Structure 1
Amino acid sequence: MRSPRPTSRRRTAFRTTAVLAGATAVLALPVGAAFADSPAAPQPRVLPGVERPAVDRPITPPTAPSSKPARGYVTTARLADGSVAKIYEIGVGHVEADVFAGTTRLGTLAGRDGRPAYGQYNGLHITLYPNGTVSSWVEDAPKPKPQPKPEVVQESAARIVMPDGNVAEAVYGAHGDRVDLSTANGHRLGTIDLKDPNVLNDGWMYKLVRDGRDGRHVLKFVVIDGKSGGNSWVYDFDSGRLIERYTVATGK
């Protein structure tokens, strides 16, 4: 029987087919799996004085500088001296107050960590509280020393129109007694008193005399007309009333 030989050829063909199928399975592996266990490639050696090659890293944008916390306006308070405080809230437990006199900023109070802040300006004391309120008070100004009151001079005057047309004012008061002389239109001629009791004007004499008769000291104002030879008029100093008159007799 010659039947076994054909069987041997079939087996050989089967083995060839199996090998080819195995080769196909190896090629079907993913590319990544083929290099998963491969040794890492050697890194470049760094020579002395030579920097290590740069390694690419993600680019990070520059960080912007932190800005000052925003000030939140709270209220405006009037202080004891008429100035004002504008109050701002900065953050938790942080308040500030700008103090203004008119349009001029005097300064800023800052209270932090929930504690009050204190300030003083020209006698004005200010306290800024953590809740955004303020209190203020002004120091008592030193009281000025009492100035002596000016002496009130009590004076009185009696107006006399003299026979020559001029005017005399008999004045008595704290500074002594005197007679002020002037023309009818107010032009000043001079003054007489007990220290300088006589004055002569255009032939007329004016005199201030003290009459001590009857134990009394009475002031009299006397006007003498020298042009007529000595006619005279005597006036009461206090009232200005004519109390005596003397006429010089002329012989022919």
Structure 2
Amino acid sequence: MRALRTLRTTLVAAGATAVLAASASGAFAAAAPEAAPVAHASAPCKDKRVPVKTVRLADKVSVAKVYKTGKHRFVAEIWAKGTKYGTLVAKDHAARGQNNGLHVTLHPNGRVTSWIERAQPELRPAAERILVSTTTLADDTSTAKVYRLSAHHYEADVYANGTKYGTLVAKDHAARGQNNGLHVLLQPDGRVTSWVDDAPGTSAAEPTVHVQVDRQARQGK
């Protein structure tokens, strides 16, 4: 008889654990619920659910339907496009869950907060700069070092008396710059054009076109 009573007690305890485990797995990735006394496991108390509000969540698609089920006890059902995909239960303490980057918190006063976990931006390695030419510009003192980064993407570092004072970036479109009357134009194919402003009363100087020779192509000949 004692063995039979012991067996019944074991089954009741095992049944309570199964109920709690099912509640945890069915929740919206929520923390484990509070342990209930074994004596009430076979006859759980059915709290009356009083609808409180429906809150639209941070993803602009999901909603939380909030119900009050007792003093300091609220339940939030998480719905998206007519489908329920989780439940949070807050009793004296906040309950939290997340699904596909959507984080939801149900507070013990029934308030719902949510936020979206943003994906980290993908960091792309910087394009390699390959020096293709060094050219003397129209003022005969400045130089332009032209680099190829990709097709239709060139950069030109402009130096005067050995000091770098600017970089032109031509990607799909030409880039222009000027310094102390020296004008430089970098085309997206790497060609450089330069000219200088003439003194007042003189005719404008003809632009000087500098044809670039790709060093890699020259070495391959």
Normalization by structure 2: what TM-score?
Answer: 0.37
Task: Between the two structures, name the one with larger relative contact order (CA 8 Å, sep ≥ 6).
Answer: 2
Structure (1 or 2) with the larger CA radius of gyration: 1
TM-score (norm 1): 0.32
Q: Which has the higher strand share?
A: 2
